[in-house]
Amino acid sequence: MNSEYKQVKRMTTTGRIIHWANAISMVVAIITGLYIGHPYYQTFIADGAVDKYVMAWNRWGHFIVAIIFDVTSVVIAYLFFFSRFEKAYKKVIPTGKNIAQFIEVIINLATLNRRKKFDSTHSDSFNSVYFLIFHLLLAWMLLTGLQLYVSGLESGLSSIGKWWPWMLHISTDWTRGVCGGTIMDVRIVHHYTMWYIITWVVFHIYYQVWRTIFWKEADIAIVFGGSKFVKEK
């Protein structure tokens, strides 16, 4: 290996676990979510209803990944501010330095890497903002999803206690007003947001691969091994 390259640690093990848990959960959420919205395969008519539970399993799967999203979101929100490794929020505050870097990264992308005037050793402010957008979309999915979910707990009871629907009402009832007033609007918005997230993912994957090919710094390895490699200056 070329000795002029140095290894830079970019993602902790926790970070990588969260990344892949999210990626897999996302695929499951989309598959089950689309089934819930419009059951697109049929079940065997000959079976008794108690045996198959197809919709119920899909909803179960959807809610399990929702819980995974719930928990990882809390962890990520915490790490965003308090991580000892890399405090991501510092990169999204619109300081002069961050804005300049943000623009440089876009120029780099637009000039097909003919101009690269920023330090790509550490997470740059463009990526940080882009990831923040993802987390906001995901949080929005959580809030709208939980609002849909709590409408099925209208008795105010739940197997884990009354505090649960109570808390969900406090934290998500406002989404109804924001989405357009009815629970149906929340559902429509929940479904639209899925497409924003998918579009986000498509560009995200493309961009990481593109960086890997054109920057030649093994960016894609960050999410597997935790490190990338940059030339010694």
Partner 1 sequence: MSDRIEGVKKLFTSKSARVETNKGESYYLDLFEKCQTRLSELRASQPANRLDFSGLLNDNGIDRRDFMKWVSATTAMLMLPPMFSPLVAEAAELMNRAPVIWLELQDCAGNSEALLRSDGPKIDEIVLDIISLEYHETLQAASGFQAEKQLDEAIETFKGKFLLFVEGSIPMGMNGQYGTIGASGETFHDHLMRVSKDAAAVIAVGACATFGGIPAAAPNPTGAVGVMDVVKGKPLVNIPACPANPVNMVGVVMHYVLTGQLPELDSLLRPKFAFGYRIHDNCERRAHFDAGEYVEEWGDEGAKNNFCLYKMGCKGPMTFNNCSIVRYNEAVNWPIGVGRGCIGCSEPDFWDKYAYERPMANAKIKAPTGGVEKTVDEFGLGLLTAAGIGIGIHAIASAVGGKKDDGGEA
How near is the Cβ of 219 to partner 1 at its closest, in Å? 11
Q: Is 30 in the site for ligand HEM (CB under 6 A)?
A: yes
227, β-bridge pairs: 9
- Torsion angle defined by CA atoms of residues 93, 94, 97 and 103, in that order, rounded to the nearest 10 degrees: 120
Q: Is 164 in the site for ligand HEM (CB under 6 A)?
A: no
Q: Left, alpha or beta for 156 (phi > 0: left; psi -120 to 50: alpha)? A: left
How near is the Cβ of 36 to ligand HEM at its closest, in Å? 5
The only residue of 18, 168, 189, 194 in contact with ligand HEM, by rule CB under 6 A: 194
- In terms of Cα–Cα distance, which of 38, 86, 76 is closest to 58? 38
Q: Is 28 in the site for ligand HEM (CB under 6 A)?
A: no
Stretch that binds ligand HEM, among 60-68, 83-91, 165-173, 209-217 (CB under 6 A): 60-68
Report the distance separating Cα 226 and Cα 222, nearest Å: 4
Q: Is 88 in the site for ligand HEM (CB under 6 A)?
A: no
Taking the least distance from each CB to partner 1, the nearer of 19 and 204 is: 204
Phi/psi for 62 (5° steps) reads -60, -40
Going 204 to 209 to 214 to 217, the CA torsion angle's sign is: positive
Q: Which residues of the shown chain bind ligand HEM in the complex (CB under 6 A)?
A: 26, 29-30, 33-34, 36-37, 59, 62-63, 66, 69, 138, 141-142, 145-146, 148-149, 187, 190-191, 194, 197
